Amino acid sequence: MAHTVALAVDLGASGGRVVSGTFDGRMLELAELHRFENGPVAMAGQLVWDLPRLWAEVMAGLRLAAGRHGRAISTVGVDTWGVDFAFLAADGELLGNPVCYRDARTRGVLAAAERIVPRSEIFASTGLQFMEINSLYQLLALKQATSSILAAADRMMMIPDLFHWLLSGERSNERTNASTTQCYDPQRNDWAFPMLDRFGLPRRIFAPITEPGTTLGSLRSDVAAETGLDGVKVILPGTHDTASAVAAVPADEPPSSRPDWAYVSLGTWALVGAELDRPLVTPECLARNFTNEGGVGGTTRLLKNVCGLWLVQQCRAAWQRAGHGWTWDQLTALAAEAPPLVTLVDPNDPSLVAPADMPEAIRSLAGRVGQPVPESTGAVVRTALESVAAAVRHTLGELDSLLGRRVSRVHVVGGGVQNRLLCQMIADATDRPVIAGPVEATAIGNLLVQMAGAEGPVDLRAVRAIVRDSFVPERYEPRDAARWNDRLGR
């Protein structure tokens, strides 16, 4: 890869940022240029994403990038969360703000869908984990409601596709995000049209699949004029944030059907999985509710979604509303002082999806399942963190069974790497070394895939060699595995 500067727009469900990456031919250097808040907004009885404000924040970040790097900037690409989407009409008009996956419109839709197409056949067509938030059930909710927006839609665009359209004027459906929809067939690398036809969903809204590393074109003239970014190309990264994060895992083995390492992409969610060279669509995967999602370089991310730091994020928000301004470090310190392994709950329990008061929801759940009720702030946070670690342990055991081998190490990437207490808990709970880092894996993967794509097909091993040269991870060895084995054995 040549010396270059690229820009990553990294949008998450709770915040976004614009990050620049400067590559000198061997090492990548990052600079965060702009950070902003994100979150769904209640509007007319729905939870929606505030797209105009997000676009204004992205533009502000691009202007700052032009001021810092000027004409050195060559490319830009966007990654976001999965499953959510918006529609364009045939004339290119945007049909409303995208609805948030936490909106109530999909409640009960999954069960209704299985009465039309059996669960086993949906899985055989898509290889995807069953979650009511998936795009398929959002689309079926619109169909059930005889939505005028669905009737007028000409193109469905996932959230990063939407931003790439705003940047370049080009419509695309990038593979890694399309693969989160439960409308995509990973074995055929195309939309699962036979299944979609059975649900009565219109084929016209699904565009041909595009790969990470594809160049869409230059910035629209109005965007270039407003930001000062002239001649910048829009190149698709792995647009699903986990795909970008996994591309930045500093492993050196090629993808295989039986890898020796697993990953945890740790943020609001903890995505636990392995990178394969082909999809694994089997009855065992269906029984364990694992998912096959697209990765960079034609890989498959075999994984399961586990609730991650969402529990602590929402506890902190509740305490802030009550006037307690705990910092993240203070909460972690309080958790470290609390007695270990007293209370464990299922972090994916439906009562913890979007409660009004997360600390009370955790206490209530603990009482309902016969666990000691955590009273202090530190005990609540420790319960949340240890419950996530226990869920990672359980999911990793399932993954071992699917792969037919016990993976020897766990790569933890993403913002959750900064929680050293949780990283140690994962090492202890899984009884395996944890290699933690890079923290900025999503932005790094986004940037390096853009840079690689500018020169031809993306070489994933070359991308990871740059990650290893540029960033030093931290290693956590298991220290208390026996206590975890004893507790979870019970």
Q: What is the CA radius of gyration of the chain?
A: 22
Residue 352, both tokens: 């913890």
Q: To which H or E segment does residue 366 belong?
A: helix 358-368
Q: Which candidate in 10, 84, 161, 241 is catalytic?
A: 241
| 122 Cβ neighbours under 8 A, 6+ residues apart | 113, 114, 130, 136, 182, 195
Nearest to 164 by CA among 80, 106, 267: 80
Spatial separation of the C-alpha atoms in residues 479 and 427, rounded to whole Å = 8
Spatial separation of the C-alpha atoms in residues 152 and 418, rounded to whole Å = 45
Q: How far is CA 174 from the centre of its chain?
A: 15
Spatial separation of the C-alpha atoms in residues 431 and 298, rounded to whole Å = 31
* Cβ 244 vs Cβ 467: under 8 Å: no
Q: What share of the chain is helix, strand, coil (3-state, %, to 5)?
A: 45, 20, 35
Residue 266, both tokens: 């740790």
- CA distances (Å), origin 89, targets 85, 259, 472: 14, 43, 47
* Cβ 436 vs Cβ 476: under 8 Å: yes
Burial (CB count within 10 angstroms: exposed 0-12, middle 13-18, buried 19+), residue 212: buried
Is 400 one of the catalytic residues?
A: no
Query: How many other CB atoms are found less than 10 A from the CB of residue 210?
Result: 19
Spatial separation of the C-alpha atoms in residues 31 and 447, rounded to whole Å = 12
- Which residues carry out catalysis? 241
